[in-house]
Chains A and B, each alone.
Chain A
Amino acid sequence: MAKCAFCDADFNTGPGDVLLVCPFCGTAQTTQGTKYKEHYMIRVHFDTTEAETTLLDWVSKQLGAPGDLGSVARFVKAEQIWYPFWVSRVDAQSTYSGSGRDANFYDEWPQKRGAYKRISFFLKPESGEFVRRHEIKIPGVQGLDEDVKNQPIPTKAKEYFSHAHAEEYDGKVLHSQMSEEQAKAAAKQMALEKQTALIMQEVSKIDTRQDKIDVGETFLVHVPVWELEYRYGNKKYKASVAASTGYVIESKYPRSAAFRAAGIGVGFILFLVGAGLLALATGVLGIQLLTGGGLVSGGLLVIMGLLFMYKGASRKEAKEKV
């Protein structure tokens, strides 16, 4: 439980939540009650029905999805979750000195001028500088699904966070488990690691380095995502759809019984025929026939058969490429 420092209302918080969003007045605040101003959101452009329709229409084109999915699937859950992300601009300038690899070459090949028979490596002192700007996005909550975590911030207008807007669809706004200082520190650390990776491309050992890492504007943005669940047949399937752009972040989906049967059945037959041809070609059965053709066709049929059976039996998530 926490008490809003601005409207005095009590509201629920989870363990580890440090930047809270009051569900009554919408003010983002630290646990000590300091107001946080750089708090934005991306507006919802797809309401519940639109998100559901978009999802089913999109999933329908997946390989093996049942043809009646759009009309038969029933939604059992449609929850709008607002995920917090910290975005920082980091300017980094690293000067370094260390030792980098180089080589001497001996004994030129007479057959190929410019190529040598022997090479010996040595380390030589090297120094230099890398100046980079990094843009770093860190999720404000831990344990986020990888695909939700890696979704780009939608190319839509950002606005100051409005709780009234989140409430239009009963949105659940997640508090950030990371404070601004922690987010900045994490961004700094990530930028430092990126700089290190750059330096390590030039030298194998760093002797001295100086980094000027400047964490610039940092803001918290809440991105709305529809967490949906639908029933088709006896099973339920989960999906995440970006509420501002309608992109299907990820979705589990059913495969029709006909597709599965065809995949496994046809795959098995192809596999058998292929294996038979291979057996004839190699003479395992005592007679040797079609040695060349059997090997090639048999091999192809076996591969195809295995692939079909895998497609028929496997269960995969579909993700929209952005």
Chain B
Amino acid sequence: MSKEGQAADMFKCPVCNGNVRTGPDDVVITCTYCGNTTTIEGKAIGDHLMEMAKDAQERVDGFRKFLDKNKGMNKSLVQGAQVVENNLIFVPVWTAKVKADSWYKGYRTVQVPVQKTRTVKDSQGNSRTENYTDYEPGYEPVQSEIHTDTDERLLARKGSRFYGLDEYLQTIDLKDTVPYSFEKVKDMQPTMLNAEIGAEEFEKTVHGRVADKHRSQAKSGLTELFDCRTTTNVRGTTYLQAPFSLVRYKFQGELYKCALDGSTGKVVLGEIPVTKSQRMMWGIMGFFGIFLAGVGGEFAYLGTTLTDGTAVMIGGAIAAIVGVALTFLGLRVLLMTQREKKG
């Protein structure tokens, strides 16, 4: 079938004059001939870096290592997993250091222990006073500051995301980068994507993102946040092309996926099957939990009836709690579709 009519934009590289095929909304273009990167208006953008990529085989090795680490009792996972998709894509990423300073004000409610006395009647009907501890609300004014200096990264594509994106962006480190050169990775036949989001837009986006993060951090410990002021300073904005790979694999006829950092060949986030025998084992564990919780509960109850039964009661209660936890853990695995593991 013909693939005509794509009418892609042509961009003339200001450095080598080559005609570069670009996507319609691309704003930062990397020449496929000379590798120079400019904005669509032909302006230089400063450093253009890339992370080197591992080839398909190395990625599969990294993927199998991940399976091996997370296989649990499913010994056949590494052998039985059959890779059905393993392609490499260089995604455009903006990164910068963002220094942010926030000042905030609010209050939180705390419980203040107050010693009180009350009059009680004993079994003989005699009144006596006793001391007890009550709790009353206290209001604590809070005025504090948050200072952070973080690396912020953004996928430079509009309205776009993919499996494992957040985990993947975390792995990007400018220390691992080299000046961009398509030649070095050409043989792996990667898909290269240009940026649809420019430097200025990126800086505005991360300003908003960090300011919102500070606000929610300030809010988290408070009953009410009155004011929160944040100033940000974005520096060292750098553009790079980062290799990402999605590996889809089949295990016993079922489809799973893993997101790989293409520069290390390691999985950043992946799905692991839960086999029948694993479900069974966890199911049994759940039932054992019920039994343990029952025995524990019985002893805890017995402890309350004995005159000197504190130890029995505490032991029983601990067993009951462990049992309940085991039950829910077992039940969770028994009913889950798959496990999700970080690499």
Contact = CB atoms under 8 A, between A and B. Distances in A.
Contacts of B23: 40, 157-159
Interface in B101-152: 105, 107, 110, 112-114, 136, 138-141
B298 A292 contact: yes
Contact of B25 (A126, A133, A217, A322): A217
A109 B136 CA distance: 10
A40 B1 CA distance: 21
Nearest to A25: B5
Contact of A155 (B162, B293, B323): B162
Interface string A264-300: 0000000000000100000000000011111111001
A61 B252 CA distance: 9
Interface stretch (B11-19, B61-69, B169-177, B220-228): B220-228
Interface string B263-302: 0000000000100000000000010011101111111111
A245 B191 CA distance: 14
A62, A112, A158, A322 — most chain B CB neighbours (10 Å): A158
B50 interface: no
Contacts of A290: 294, 298
A246 B114 CA distance: 62
B233 interface: no
A301 B325 CA distance: 14
B136, B205, B253 — most chain A CB neighbours (10 Å): B253
Nearest to B331: A304
A153 B158 CA distance: 8
A160 B8 contact: yes
Contacts of A165: 3, 5-6
A297 B297 contact: yes
Contacts of A143: none
Contacts of B255: 54, 57-58, 60-61
Nearest to A116: B139
A155 B155 CA distance: 10
By secondary structure, the B interface counts as mixed
B49 interface: no
A246 B89 CA distance: 16
A168 interface: yes
Nearest to A153: B159
B161 interface: yes
A201 B4 CA distance: 52
A260 to B, nearest CB: 14
B72 interface: no
B157 interface: yes
B112 A111 contact: yes
Contacts of B5: 26, 162-165
B24 A135 contact: no
Interface residues of B, number: 80
B138 A109 contact: yes
A61 B112 contact: no
Contacts, number: 199
Indicate the size class of the contact surface on chain A.
Answer: 35 or more
B162 A322 contact: yes
B138 A201 contact: no
A79 interface: no
A152 interface: yes
Contact of B193 (A112, A157, A296, A304): A157
Given A109-B112, A292-B302, A115 B138 contact: yes
B6, B91, B159 — most chain A CB neighbours (10 Å): B159
A171 interface: no
B301 A292 contact: yes
Given A153-B158, A296-B324, A133 B205 contact: yes
B208 interface: yes
Given A100-B227, A101-B226, A322-B163, A162 B6 contact: yes
A117 B138 contact: yes
Contacts of B250: 57
A158 B24 contact: yes
A57, A290, A300 — most chain B CB neighbours (10 Å): A300
A23 to B, nearest CB: 13
A108 to B, nearest CB: 9
Interface in B293-342: 293-302, 316, 320, 323-324, 327, 331, 335-338
Interface of A: 26, 38, 40, 54, 57-58, 60-63, 70, 85, 87, 89, 91, 100-103, 105, 109, 111-112, 114-119, 126, 128, 131-133, 135, 137, 152-160, 162-165, 168, 201-202, 217, 219, 245-247, 277, 290-297, 300-301, 304, 307, 311, 318, 321-322
Given A57-B253, A131-B204, A294-B297, 6 more contacts: A58-B255, A152-B162, A157-B193, A160-B8, A164-B2, A246-B248
7 contacts: A58-B254, A60-B255, A133-B201, A162-B4, A246-B85, A293-B298, A296-B324
Interface of B: 1-9, 23-25, 85, 89, 91, 105, 107, 110, 112-114, 136, 138-141, 155, 157-163, 191, 193, 196, 201, 204-205, 207-208, 215, 224-229, 248, 250, 253-256, 273, 286, 289-291, 293-302, 316, 320, 323-324, 327, 331, 335-338
